[in-house]
Amino acid sequence: MLKQSRVILATLSLFAMNTLIFAQEGTGKVGGEAAETAATSSPGFTQIVFNGNIVNTLIWGMIFLTSIVTCAFIVDGIIQTRRDKILPFHIIQGVRDALEGGDLNSAINICEGNPSQLSSILMAGFSNIQEGYEVVQESVTAATDIESEKILQRISYLNLCGQIAPMLGLLGTVTGMVSAFGGLAKASGASKDKILAESISIALWTTVCGLLVSVPALLSYTIFKNFATRLLLESEATVLDVIKTLRGAEVDEEEEEEEYEEY
DSSP, res 87? S
Per-residue pLDDT of the chain (263 residues), as tens digits, is: 445 455 445 545 544 454 444 444 444 443 443 334 343 455 666 666 776 578 888 888 999 999 999 999 999 999 989 988 888 989 989 988 888 888 888 888 999 998 888 999 999 888 888 888 888 889 999 999 999 999 999 899 999 999 999 999 999 888 888 877 777 767 666 567 777 777 787 788 889 999 999 999 999 999 999 999 999 999 888 888 888 876 654 444 444 344 434 44
Residue 20 φ then ψ, to 5°: -60, -35
pLDDT at 33: 39
Using CA atoms, how far apart are residues 52 and 194, in angstroms rounded to an integer? 18
d(CA 170, CA 184): 21
CB 11 within 8 A of CB 19: no
| Helices marked H in the chain | 2-22, 33-36, 45-49, 54-80, 83-86, 89-100, 104-113, 117-126, 133-186, 191-262
Distance separating alpha carbons of residues 8 and 220, to the nearest angstrom: 9
Residue 244: its pLDDT value, please? 80
* 164 and 157 Cβ atoms separated by less than 8 Å: no
- Residue 165's Cβ-side half-sphere holds a number of Cα atoms within 13 Å equal to 29
Residue of 68, 83, 72, 77 lying closest to 20 (CA atoms): 68
CA neighbor of 81 nearest in space, from 188, 224, 199, 187: 224
Are the C-beta atoms of 214 and 162 separated by less than 8 Å? yes
Q: What are phi and psi of 50, to 5 degrees?
A: -115, 70
Query: How many angstroms separate the CA atoms of 222 and 190, rounded?
Result: 50
Domain boundaries, the chain: 2-19+60-250
Question: Would you give the end-to-end CA distance of the chain in angstroms?
Answer: 58
CA–CA distance, 141 with 134 (Å, rounded to integer): 11
